[in-house]
Structures are given as C-alpha cells and as structure tokens.
Structure 1
Amino acid sequence: MAYIAVFVGSVRRDRKGIAVARWIEKKLQERNHKVYFIDPMELDLPLLDRMYKEMENPSEKLVQLRDKIKNAEGYIPVTPEYNRSTSSALKNTLDYFLEEYYFKPSAIVSYSPGMFAGINAAQQLRLIFAELGSPSIPSSFAIPRVHKVFDEKGNLVDESYDKRISKFLDEFEWYVNALTFQRSKGTPY
C-alpha cells in the first residue's frame, strides 16, 4: 500500500478528465492504495504569487494540500491538452510546492477528444515533474477519443483500458517501491 496523489487537470464545466481521474482513483484503491484526490476546482487556488514555503499564513486548504503532496509516495496527473501543453489550472496547483515532490515518481495520464490523446501535454508534464524532482516513469497512459471511452456518467465503456491500466500501474508501483526504498536510506539532499 502506498499514498498516491491523483491530480485532476481540468476545471472546465464539461470536463471529461474528471471521469478519467475517478477511474484512476478506483483502480489505485483496488490495489489497496490510499488516494489523495486533488481537484483544482475544489481548491479554488488563486494564481500563484508566492510558493507555500514563502507564505507566512497559508490557508487551511493550502496546508491540507501541502500535507497530501508531502505525504504522497507518487503522483498521477490526469491532464487534458490545451494548445499543445497541460492546463494552467494543473500547472498552477503543482507550482505551489517544490521540495515536497523530491525523489518520488510520477506517472502521467493524458486524454483528448482527438486521436493524439494529449501526448503533447504529457511531454510538457515530463519536463515539469523532472524540475519538481519527481521523475516520470518511462510509460505514459494516453486516452484518445475520451468521449468514446467513458460514457456521460463517467463509466468506462471500453474494457480494453482495464488491461492497459493494469500494466501501467504495475510499472508505476515498481518505481514507487524502488524510490521509497531508496528514500529510506537517505537522499542526496
């Protein structure tokens, strides 16, 4: 069992990513992981002015968010693709923190209504998570035509994704276990 933070990437009114993120949450819980579900829509964070570590009196909501990120042993961002990159809402949420992410893996899930499944956003997130000190696992999980994979109620309709997600989470868990073991022996800084 590990503590995993799942980040929702979209705050749009008709967002499809919430179904993807809830499905990822369910799949992690089926593997006995504790999931911190981080939805920028619920956080209502202002545009970043100061990082958490620079704040004198952070809000209780921000303190709770920091605790989730700090206590997580791995991260799964679920990102849409906007203009060949990730969403500003996801980037804003991530940027409040830095050291909290160090030496813990990330595994990127992307989606879009088109055929390319948000792969440009996934590549941008690789750079972002590398800078946060949370290297991404080699695989990413892309969902093209997301509106045909999940129905209007958020239920998975294409069962081939259950097999794909299993392999993806196997790889992610391997990295979570490896980096958790290494952190227990100390970190370079």
Structure 2
Amino acid sequence: MPDRILVIYGSYRVDRLGIRLANYLVRGLSQRGAEAELIDAKAIGLPMLDRMYKEYPKGTVPAAMEALAEKIRSADAFIFVTGEYNWGPQPGLKNLTDHFLEEWFWRPAAVASYSAGRFSGVRSGTVWHGILSEMGMVVVSSTLAAGPITQTLDANAQPVGEGGKALEQSFPRFADDLAWWTEAAREQRTRRAPPY
C-alpha cells in the first residue's frame, strides 16, 4: 500500500513562488511510489479561525472543511511547505492547520521551507517544528530548504542551477526519513491503539 502523504501549502499571495516547491514535492514523492496530494490553503479557502472543526455541531461543518478533515484523517504523513513572513510562519498555512487538532495526531510530519532570499525560509521552518509537535505530530529531523526559490526551481517546478542541484541531493534523504517514520507509525497503529 503506498504512503498517503498530504503536501500542505499556505501562501495566499498573487505571485506565489512556493507552489514550485509544493509541486516539486508532490512529483518527487509520486515518483517514489507514494500517493501524494497537494492541499492548497488558498484553493480550499477556510475562513479565519473562529471555530475549529471539532467545535461545529454535527451536520453544520462547511463542506470544504469536512472534506479536508477526512483527507487529514486518512493520510499517513504530512509535509508542510512554508515560506517566511518576517521570520515567522505564513498566516494562511497556520490558519488552515489550526482548524484541526485530533485529526493530525499520531502521524509524522516534515517541513520544507523556501524564500526569495538565501536563508530559504529556515527561520519559519524552525518555528513549525514546535507548532506541529504541539499539534500531535512527530516531526522528522530532516528538513528541505529552497532558496532563492527562483534560482532553485523554475516555473514548472524543475530544478535549475546550483540551488536545484542542492535540492536534488537533499530530497532523497528528506523523503527517506519521512518514509521511515510513516511506516513506523502505520505499523504501530496496527499493533496498538494510540493512548488517547
């Protein structure tokens, strides 16, 4: 059975460059045999957080939120693709993530970051480790950082230049790390129910 991995992207900007990294990841994971799906926060369009998924009375959850909750529950693992806004996480990605809680539990997550500059969004990526851990996910130690993004991936999410070469070299370890934890978590869930 292939690993079901959600690649979650959260930029709402008009000229979204991080979508290149999200598409690169979906393609790369698919080529490795995973069932990878892009979850685009802007396309889903959840409102600013007022009520979490679990706080809606039964039968009143907005359709887009219900569909996403089901995808999260059925996923084996997650990759959060984050840009960096003033050294912090993108509000669109954080907003989507915060609509759910228990749905994320007991699965691994990985962080891939990007930026227009040479720091590749790593300051935001570091923040996401704590956020995702608090939300019940095991965050793998391998990270992926792409930047400057336009000198790493072209508009078709194809690697270019030295940045692209570095990304291609880093991706296998990143994907292997996530795959190891994905298998471990899936096997553990078949042997023993989570403690809560």
Fold match, TM over 0.5? yes
Is the 1:17–1:79 Cα contact (8 Å) retained in structure 2?
yes
Is the 2:142–2:173 Cα contact (8 Å) retained in structure 1?
no
In structure 2, list runs of 5 or more residues that go unmatched. Answer: none
Q: 1:186 aligns to what?
A: 193
Q: 2:169 aligns to what?
A: 163
Amino acid in structure 1 at the alignment position of 2:86 = N
Q: 1:67 aligns to what?
A: 70
Report deviation, 1:40.
Answer: 1.0
> For residues 9 and 134 of structure 1, what CA distance do their matches in structure 2 show?
18
Q: 1:129 aligns to what?
A: 132
Could you tell me the percent identity over the aligned residues? Answer: 34
Report deviation, 1:139.
Answer: 1.4
Is the 2:114–2:149 Cα contact (8 Å) retained in structure 1?
yes
Is the 1:36–1:68 Cα contact (8 Å) retained in structure 2?
no
> For residues 60 and 126 of structure 1, what CA distance do their matches in structure 2 show?
29
Is the 1:126–1:135 Cα contact (8 Å) retained in structure 2?
no
Task: Compute the RMSD of aligned alpha carbons.
Answer: 1.1
Matched, 1:105 2:108: yes
Count of aligned pairs = 189
Is the 1:10–1:17 Cα contact (8 Å) retained in structure 2?
yes
Deviations 1:3-29 (A, max 9, x none): 111101211111111111011000111
What SS is found at the alignment partner of 2:6?
Answer: strand
> For residues 166 and 153 of structure 1, what CA distance do their matches in structure 2 show?
20
More strand by share: 2
Report deviation, 1:121.
Answer: 0.6
> For residues 153 and 28 of structure 2, what CA distance do their matches in structure 1 show?
15
Superposition TM-score, scaled by structure 2 size: 0.92
Superposition TM-score, scaled by structure 1 size: 0.96
Matched, 1:33 2:2: no
> For residues 139 and 30 of structure 1, what CA distance do their matches in structure 2 show?
19
> For residues 109 and 33 of structure 1, what CA distance do their matches in structure 2 show?
17
Greater CA deviation, 30-39 or 108-117?
30-39
